Amino acid sequence: MTSNDTIAPHGGTLVELLAGPEDAEGLKREAANLPKVVVNQRELSDLEMLTVGALSPLTGFQGEKDYHSILDTMHLESGLAWAIPVTLSLDEDEVKRIGGAEAVALLSRDGGEPLAIVQVSEIFKRDRQKEALGVFGTEDLEHPGVRALHDAGDYCLAGPVRSIRLPRHRAFTTYRLTPAETRAAFHERGWRTVVGFQTRNPIHRAHEYIQKCALEIVDGLLVHPLMGATKGDDVPADIRMQCYEALFGGYYPKDRAMISIFPAAMRYAGPKEAIWHAICRKNYGCTHFIVGRDHAGVGTYYGTYDAQKIFEEFEPDELGITPLMFEHSFWCNACEGMASPKTCPHGEETRVSLSGTKVREMLRGGERPPIEFSRPEVADILIAAMREA
């Protein structure tokens, strides 16, 4: 870390696992003779995150001791804070096929050159019940994260990763900055303090307001939309990206705000994922992180403020990144501005608030929500997308 950096990576070292062009050729030759494992979509995202250092200090898929330590204590065996195990699943047939191999090659489902080689340090049986309760707080198969865990293999393969290439992305390649690149971008802009904003939705006025409240106290804002796998009824990535571009084009100062893609897949683990998201954003160079109500939640599995309260379970220097907690916000006709229950003394009747269901209904009918709720440019993109769908 130089004095120009915003914050040290988690654990102190920014990991980069991608081989240079020459080494990559050697790894490809090596991979040709190794047992192959095809990764699922979530693992593909995790592999990309490992490769670029978003999961620093991890250098590979985690072993059994860390796995249990994280589920039991929210810390790695080394004592470093960590909220969700990063594992590579195998089913029984794959375990047999791998046998005693020292290494395996990872392949993408859509083919192409191998992605990486994992040196096998151990293969262990996962404790599905403990993992479901420890990560998601429930064993309900209706929960998308529990469902994914249920469908995953019984075993986990652990070991250090050497990456041959990143997954291919066809869209938004200019927005795919690695942690080293966002750090360089912050440095270039002269930002010493940066707030990160996680989102998997289009941004309406309420979240714009929260971001700008946070930006008032730091140098820069990183809007960091999650672009790995989400559940089927979330707004598709390309539509969201158009919304972010429209918003940035009209309402965000270019020298104070930037968009970059967060390649993670959603786990919908609520509070645990809020911690995980914060640690990842620290690796991207953010000093602050916005935690809203029901962060990374789904359905009614988590309490409204659980994702904020969980930060109290750590000493502040354990995480390093500073969480900024926000209430839900809205336009208030009496205040004549954006506000929250913290800042507005008026009642519900003066507040412009719409349920998600109501907003979708309006958009589907070709109707813009009120300008106090949604920027017209964003509303028009969503209306057009619904018409095509």
Give whichever of 307 and 332 is closer to Zn ion, judged by the CB atom. Answer: 332
Each residue 335-354 as x (binds Zn ion by CB under 5 A) or -, in order, gives: x--------x-x--------
Q: How far is the CB of 215 from Zn ion (least distance, A)?
A: 22
Which of these, 209, 225, 224, 210, lies nearest to 375 by C-alpha position?
Answer: 209
Stretch that binds Zn ion, among 148-156, 232-240, 313-321, 333-341 (CB under 5 A): 333-341
* Residue partners of 295: CB distance under 8 A and separation at least 6: 198, 270, 271, 273, 274, 277, 307, 308
Give whichever of 121 and 353 is closer to Zn ion, judged by the CB atom. Answer: 353
The whole-angstrom distance between residue 287's C-alpha and the CA centroid of its chain comes to 16
| Residue 378, both tokens | 């964003």
d(C-alpha 296, C-alpha 102), whole Å? 37
Stretch that binds Zn ion, among 99-107, 233-241, 314-322, 324-332 (CB under 5 A): 324-332
Give whichever of 352 and 384 is closer to Zn ion, judged by the CB atom. Answer: 352
Contact between 223 and Zn ion by CB under 5 A: the answer reads no
Q: How far is the CB of 354 from Zn ion (least distance, A)?
A: 17
DSSP codes joined into one string, 132-155: IIIIIS---TTSHHHHHHHHS-SE
Give whichever of 79 and 345 is closer to Zn ion, judged by the CB atom. Answer: 345
Contact between 371 and Zn ion by CB under 5 A: the answer reads no
Q: Which of 192, 201, 256, 293 is catalytic?
A: 201
Stretch that binds Zn ion, among 199-207, 210-218, 328-336, 355-363 (CB under 5 A): 328-336
* The pairing of beta strand 288-291 with beta strand 257-259: unpaired
Burial profile 251-288: b = 16 or more Cβ within 10 angstroms, e = fewer: ebeeeebbbbbbbbbbbbbbbbbbbbbbbbbbbbbbbb
Q: How far is CA 55 from CA 91, 153, 352, in A?
A: 25, 22, 39
Give whichever of 82 and 331 is closer to Zn ion, judged by the CB atom. Answer: 331
Stretch that binds Zn ion, among 97-105, 112-120, 275-283, 334-342 (CB under 5 A): 334-342
Contact between 332 and Zn ion by CB under 5 A: the answer reads yes
Which of these, 122, 118, 135, lies nearest to 59 by C-alpha position?
Answer: 118
Q: Report whether the peptide linkage leading into residue 57 is cis, meaning its omega lies within 30 degrees of zero.
A: yes
Q: How far is the CB of 339 from Zn ion (least distance, A)?
A: 5
At 162, phi and psi to the nearest 5? -120, 115
Q: How far is the CB of 334 from Zn ion (least distance, A)?
A: 4
Each residue 277-316 as x (binds Zn ion by CB under 5 A) or -, in order, gives: ----------------------------------------
Give whichever of 55 and 344 is closer to Zn ion, judged by the CB atom. Answer: 344
| Residue 192, both tokens | 């010493």
Q: How far is the CB of 362 from Zn ion (least distance, A)?
A: 23
Q: Which of 200, 205, 267, 351 is catalytic?
A: 200
Q: How far is the CB of 139 from Zn ion (least distance, A)?
A: 42
Q: How far is the CB of 208 from Zn ion (least distance, A)?
A: 18
176 annotated active-site: no
Q: What SS3 state is found at 322?
A: strand
DSSP type of residue 192: S
Each residue 72-111 as x (binds Zn ion by CB under 5 A) or -, in order, gives: ----------------------------------------
Contact between 24 and Zn ion by CB under 5 A: the answer reads no
Please name the amino acid found at residue 232: G
33 annotated active-site: no
d(C-alpha 168, C-alpha 247), whole Å? 27
Q: How many residues interact with Zn ion (rule CB under 5 A)? A: 5
Contact between 334 and Zn ion by CB under 5 A: the answer reads yes
In the chain, what is the straight-line distance between the N-terminal and C-terminal CA atoms, in Å?
A: 47
Q: Could you list the residues that contact Zn ion (CB under 5 A)?
A: 332, 334-335, 344, 346
The residues annotated with a catalytic role in the active site are: 200-201
